[in-house]
Amino acid sequence: MSLTSAIARDPAVRSFFDQEFPRAREVAAEMNVLSASTPLRFPTRLSKEDARAVGMAFNYRLAFSLRRVPLEDTVAALGLENILLELLIANEWTPDHEVALRSLFRDIARVVSEVRPARRRLNAADERRLAACCLALAFFEEHYRDRDPQRSGRTAFRTALRREPTLVGLKRAVGERAAAIDDLKGLAVAAQGDFRRFYRQRITLGPVFLGSGRVGGADADLIAGSTLIETKTSRLDAPISLEHVYQLVGYFLLDAHDEFEVRSLAFYLPRRGLLVSRKAESFLEHASGRHRSFGTWRRLARRAFRAYNIAVA
C-alpha cells in the first residue's frame, strides 16, 4: 500500500506531518514551479483508469531498464495471489482462471528475459511488447493496492476473466489498451536517458522499510544508489501535492535503521524529463523549518506510526 493511505486515514499520522513539517507546502510549490516551467514532452489524453495503470506500469519499465528484476519478488506477484483469493471469496474461482493468470505471469517473465531490457535501448517491436507486459503487471498490482471489493470486481483482469477465462482473453484485455501501451512506450524510451547516471548503482524496486509494517506495509517507488525516488506521471503543471511531500519524507523516516542508506530525496516527472533531487538533510530542514538528526526524526515518526498501527490492528 501507499503511505498516503495512512496519512489520509489516521488523524494522528496526519497531525504528525502537519505539525512537524509546516513548510512542506512551500516545498511542493517550489517543485511545481520547476514543473510548470519545464515543457511537457509527453502530453496525454488517457482515461483516469489508464493513466493510473500507466503510473504503476512505468515503475516496472523504469526498473527493468536499470537492472534485472525477479518478478516473483514484485508487488505484482502479490497482486496475482490476491486476484485468486478475491475469486475464491466471490465464489468465482475455477481451475481455468488460475491457469490463465499464472500462464500470463510466466509469459511476462519470458518476454522480459527475451528482450533483456537492462541498460540498453530496445527496438520498437520489443519496446511495445515490454510495455504491454508492464501494463499487465500494473493490472496485477492494482489487486494488491486497492482492497475495495467493489472496485476489484471491475478491474481489467476480473472483467476479462468473466468474458473469456483464458490466457488469450487476458492478453486481449491488455492489448485493448493500445493508447496506454503507446504512452508508456514513449515515457520509457525518454526515461532511459534521464536515468543513465544510475546505471552502475544499486537499484531497489518497491523498497519496503523496517518501519513499513507500522503503516500497512507501505512501499516506495524506487531507490537508485542513495536516492529515494517517487515517480509522478501526471500531466498536470502542478503534479506534486502536499501529501506527496509527506509521502516522500515518510518513506525516508520509515527506514528506521538506515538500511538503505538514503541520502537524497527526489521526485521524477517523466512527462517533463525532470528529476528534482535534494539532499535529505536539506529537504527535511526546508520542510520542517528546523534542524534535527535523522535519528531524532525517525524516533518521532516511530511514535506517530506506532499509534496508527495499534489503531488499525
* Nearest by Cα to 106 from 56, 52, 183, 170: 170
Claim to verify: residue 166 and residue 206 sit in the same structural domain: no
Residues 17 and 105 occupy one common structural domain: no
Distance in angstroms (rounded) separating the CA atoms of residues 206 and 221: 5
Q: Which of 168, 198, 228 is the last residue of a domain?
A: 198
Q: What is the model's pLDDT at position 311? A: 41
DSSP 108-159: HHHHHHHH--TTSPPPHHHHHHHHHHHHHHHHHHHHHH---HHHHTTSHHHH
Domain C-terminal end among 164, 198, 232: 198
118 and 191 housed in the same domain: yes
Kindly list the averaged pLDDT for each block of 10 residues, start to end, along the chain of length 313.
75 90 97 95 89 94 91 92 92 94 96 94 95 96 76 78 91 94 93 88 86 70 94 93 95 92 97 96 97 94 70 36
Question: Same domain for 126 and 67?
Answer: yes
User: Contact at 8 Å (CB) between 135 and 128?
Assistant: no
- Residues 84 and 192 occupy one common structural domain: yes
Strand, coil or helix: 181: helix
- Both 36 and 121 in one domain: the answer is no
pLDDT at position 213 is 65
Cα dist. 168→106, 157, 160, 282 in Å? 13, 12, 10, 51
Q: Within this chain, do residues 240 and 285 fall inside the same structural domain, yes or no? A: yes
Joined grid coordinates for residue 182: 503507446
Range of the domain at 170: 44-198
SS3 (DSSP) at 201: coil
DSSP one-letter string for 34-73:
HHHTS--SS-----HHHHHHHHHHHHHHHHHHHS---GGG
The number of folded domains in the chain is 2
Residue 199's pLDDT is 86
> Cα–Cα distance between 61 and 135 in angstroms, integer?
9
CA-to-CA separations, 75 to 56, 60, 72, 142, 310, in angstroms, rounded: 10, 10, 8, 9, 25
Quick one: 84 exposed, middle or buried, by C-beta within 10 A (0-12, 13-18, 19+)? middle
How far apart CA 64 and CA 70 sit, in angstroms, is 10
pLDDT digits (tens, 9 = 90+) for 227-254: 999 999 999 999 999 999 999 999 999 9
In this predicted structure, what is the pLDDT of residue 312?
Answer: 35
Q: Is 150 exposed, middle or buried (0-12, 13-18, 19+ CB in 10 A)?
A: exposed
Separation CA 221–CA 165 (nearest Å)? 32
From the list 66, 102, 11, the residue with the least C-alpha distance to 221 is 66
- Cβ-based neighbours of 176, under 8 Å, separated by 6 or more: none
Domain end, chosen from 156, 183, 198, is at 198
Whether residues 218 and 303 share a domain: the answer is yes
Neighbours of 103 (CB within 10 A): 15
Q: What angle do CA 138, 144, 150 make, to 5 degrees?
A: 100
pLDDT of residue 7: 81
Q: Based on the fold, state whether residues 146 and 207 are members of the same structural domain.
A: no
| pLDDT for the residue 1 | 57
Residues 129 and 114 both lie in one domain: yes
Claim to verify: residue 70 and residue 48 sit in the same structural domain? yes
Q: Are residues 48 and 38 in the same domain?
A: no
